[in-house]
């Protein structure tokens, strides 16, 4: 029996893998349900899934960010969550939205910034901090000993993190006005991603997940020309860093929700290996896979807006069967939901997904 890692590499190299690799990203309420049903919150242990997360992280200081925002005249609620790069969310009042995971309010404290000098004075994490990669090589070695695939998730690579702190409308306005603010933010988050990618690749990770949501369900969020001017070159710098590392086996996975068919060839051009997801609610899965399967892998085709929450177990099994069909026709396929599983997904559909994967023989 091949290990998860051996099987994944066979799939990506268009060999003859024994089974479909699968990933199961979930929200905390789904972890609660998994624990009630299986006795563990660990999805990998509960279902023997193939991928384990790891990765570098630059330590930040939320308390310093709170003080900095106060100096800017921005009032941050006491219960707000502030990450190391200043991204700020406020959880909903208890009982107001059930257990919906994504209903936190996002604040944009840097919307008040008027010039680049103000940005330069903020408490950004030290990108030279050696603690960023502390213990990572050991964690990757542990994952490899278990036979699993080590994945460093670095989504919100450039664009999303920048608009999280500035506000999307402000960031677009900055780029149009060429006032320097958006450029500074995009460059800082690009540099952060470059440093993280260098550490992850050098530590021996198998997959690096990059990504920014640039699509809607009706097409690109911005013009392709705008994306090529402002985001593509910065993403390329991150991928070039990965390719320059000594780890020759690392795969680059790119995530964007929505319909981004207009830039798939651009992503291939700058070195993306895997597209995540192929969202069936807005992209024709068969067409996307058949037209790009010789050069691109596909991770996540099971709809989290449709099949997983609202379909039947038979609907779930049918999607897994379609994924197997694509794999038999030469596509590199990793079965996964198109996003994290939210609390509205019934246990029966999770069971159906896992059982269907176990039952299918590829060749």
Residue 96 is predicted with a pLDDT of: 67
Contact partners, residue 14, CB within 8 Å, separation at least 6: 330, 332
Q: CA-CA distance, 51 to 130, in Å (whole number)?
A: 26
Residue 289's pLDDT band, with cuts at 50, 70 and 90, is very high
Which residues is 333 bridged to in the sheet?
Answer: 298
Q: In angstroms, what is the C-alpha Rg of the chain?
A: 21
Examine the pLDDT at 97 and tell me if it is beyond 80.
Answer: no
Contact partners, residue 263, CB within 8 Å, separation at least 6: 214, 220, 224, 227, 228, 232
pTM of the model: 0.96
Examine the pLDDT at 248 and tell me if it is beyond 80.
Answer: no
Count up the domains in the chain and report the number.
1
- Residue 292 near residue 248 (C-beta atoms within 8 A): no
Highest mean pLDDT out of 91-105, 203-217, 247-261: 203-217
CATH number at residue 86: 3.20.20.210
- Residue 76 near residue 107 (C-beta atoms within 8 A): yes
| CA dist list (Å): 298 to 142, 332, 355 | 26, 6, 21
Q: Which domain holds residue 26?
A: 4-359
């Amino acid at each position: 029996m091949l290990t998860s890692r051996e099987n994944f590499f066979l799939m990506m190299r268009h060999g003859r893998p024994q089974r479909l690799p699968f990933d199961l990203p979930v929200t905390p309420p789904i972890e609660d349900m998994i624990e009630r049903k299986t006795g563990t919150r660990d999805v990998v242990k509960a279902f023997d899934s193939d991928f384990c997360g790891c990765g570098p992280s630059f330590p930040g200081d939320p308390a310093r960010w709170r003080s900095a925002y106060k100096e800017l005249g921005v009032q941050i609620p006491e219960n707000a969550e502030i990450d190391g790069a200043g991204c700020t969310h406020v959880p909903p009042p208890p009982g107001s939205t059930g257990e919906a995971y994504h209903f936190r309010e996002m604040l944009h404290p840097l919307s008040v910034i008027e010039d680049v000098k103000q940005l330069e004075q903020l408490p950004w994490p030290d990108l030279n901090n050696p603690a960023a990669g502390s213990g990572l090589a050991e964690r990757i070695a542990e994952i490899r000993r278990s036979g699993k695939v080590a994945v460093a998730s670095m989504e919100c690579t450039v664009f999303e993190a920048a608009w999280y702190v500035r506000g999307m409308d402000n960031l677009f306005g900055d780029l149009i006005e060429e006032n320097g603010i958006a450029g500074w933010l995009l460059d800082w988050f690009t540099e952060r991603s470059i440093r993280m990618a260098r550490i992850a690749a050098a530590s021996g990770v198998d997959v690096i997940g990059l990504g920014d949501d640039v699509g809607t369900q009706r097409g690109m969020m911005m013009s392709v020309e705008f994306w090529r001017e402002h985001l593509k070159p910065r993403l390329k710098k991150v991928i070039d860093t990965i390719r320059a590392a000594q780890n020759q086996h690392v795969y680059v996975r790119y995530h964007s929700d929505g319909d981004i068919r207009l830039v798939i060839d651009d992503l291939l051009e700058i070195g993306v290996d895997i597209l995540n997801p192929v969202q069936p609610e807005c992209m024709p899965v068969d067409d996307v896979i058949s037209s790009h399967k010789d050069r691109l892998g596909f991770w996540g085709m099971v709809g989290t807006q449709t099949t997983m929450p609202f379909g039947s177990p038979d609907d779930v099994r049918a999607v897994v069967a379609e994924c197997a069909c694509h794999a038999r026709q030469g596509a590199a396929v990793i079965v996964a939901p198109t996003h994290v599983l939210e609390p509205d997904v019934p246990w029966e559909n999770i069971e159906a997904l896992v059982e269907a994967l176990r039952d299918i023989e590829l060749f």
